[in-house]
Amino acid sequence: MSADSLATPLGGSLNWIAVWRRNYLAWKKAALASLLGHLAEPLIYLFGLGAGLGVMVGHVDGVSYTAFLAAGMVATSAMTAATFETIYAAFGRMEGQGTWEAMLYTQLRLGDIVLGEMAWAATKAALAGVGIATVAAVLGYTQWLSLIYVLPVVALTGLAFASLGMVVTALAPSYDYFIFYQTLVITPILFLSGAVFPVDQLPFVFQTVARFLPLAHAIELIRPIMLGHPVVEVCFHVSALSFYIVIPFFVSTALLRRRLLR
C-alpha cells in the first residue's frame, strides 16, 4: 500500500463502482437474510405502535396514525440500514478482513473506497426503505405511484447517514464503541425527527434541534409524498441532506487517511 493511494482523494470518477460491485457480490449470497434483518425493526414499530397507539391516537394531521407512522418508518429504515452497513460491515472490511488494504494495492484510492462504501450503504438503505413503503402500499396507507418518488429521497437519506457513519467508523477503536453512537445519536434522532410523533408536539428546544437533524429533513420530504400532500421547501431539505453527505465524506476521508498511515 503506497502513500499515494492514501494521499490522492479519488483515483477516478467511476472507480467507486468497483467497490460497490465487490460488496454487492459478497452480499447477494445472503441477500434474503440481510433484507429481512433490515426490515424487521421498522415493521415491528409499524405494526406494534400502529396497532397499539393507533387505536388511542386516532388521526394525526388528518390521516390515520398508522399511515403517519409508515412514512416515518420508511425514512427510519433507510437510516438504520445505511448506519449499520457503515459502522459494522465497512469497519470489518477495513479493520478485520483486510479488504481495504487489498484494494489500496490496486488503482483504487481511499476516496474511491469511502465513496463506494457510501454508495453501497445507500443501495441497502433504498432496498430497506422501499420494502417498508411497499408494505404500506399493500396495506393501503400510500399509493403505489408514490414509491417512484420516494426512492430518490430514500437513497439520499441513505447517503447522508452512510457519510455520517463513515466518520464514526474512522474514529472508533473497536466494535464496542458503536453502541454509543447507536444509543446516544441514532436513537435520539429517531424520536426527535418526527418519525413516531409530530415534531410540533415537542418542546420548543427539541423542535429547534430537530431542524438540524438529517432524518427530519428526509421525513419532511417522504411523508407528504406518501400521504399525497404538497411537498414544501424541497430545495431546503435536499440541500440539508446534501450537506450531510458532502462534509462528512471529506471529514471521514481525512480521518481514515490519518488512521491508516499510523
> What are the boundaries of each domain within the chain?
3-260
**26-74 tens-digit pLDDT:** 998 887 777 777 777 777 777 777 666 666 677 777 788 888 989 999 9
pLDDT (0 to 100) of residue 8 = 56
Point out the least confidently predicted range of 10-19, 33-42, 252-261: 33-42
Asked if residue 60 lies in contact with residue 198, where contact means CB atoms within 8 angstroms, the answer is yes
Which whole-number Å values give the CA distances from 112 to 10, 39, 107, 233, 254, in the listed order? 5, 29, 10, 32, 13
User: CA 179, CA 260: separation in Å to the nearest integer?
Assistant: 23
Q: What secondary structure letter does DSSP report for 198?
A: -
At CA 30, angle to CA 25 and CA 33, rounded to 5? Answer: 145
First to last CA, the chain: 13
Asked if residue 20 lies in contact with residue 119, where contact means CB atoms within 8 angstroms, the answer is yes
**Grid-cell match 409524498, residue found:** 225
Asked if residue 30 lies in contact with residue 19, where contact means CB atoms within 8 angstroms, the answer is no
Asked if residue 23 lies in contact with residue 120, where contact means CB atoms within 8 angstroms, the answer is yes
CA 75 to chain centre: 8
The residue type found at 110 is: L
Burial of 248 (0-12, 13-18, 19+ CB in 10 A): buried
**180-192 tens-digit pLDDT:** 999 999 999 999 9
Point out the least confidently predicted range of 2-11, 230-239, 246-255: 2-11
Report pTM: 0.90
- For residue 2, give the 3-state DSSP assignment: coil
Mean pLDDT in residue range 231-235: 94
pLDDT (0 to 100) of residue 260 = 86
Contacts of 176-179 with C-beta under 8 Å, sequence gap 24+, read 178/87, 178/88, 178/91
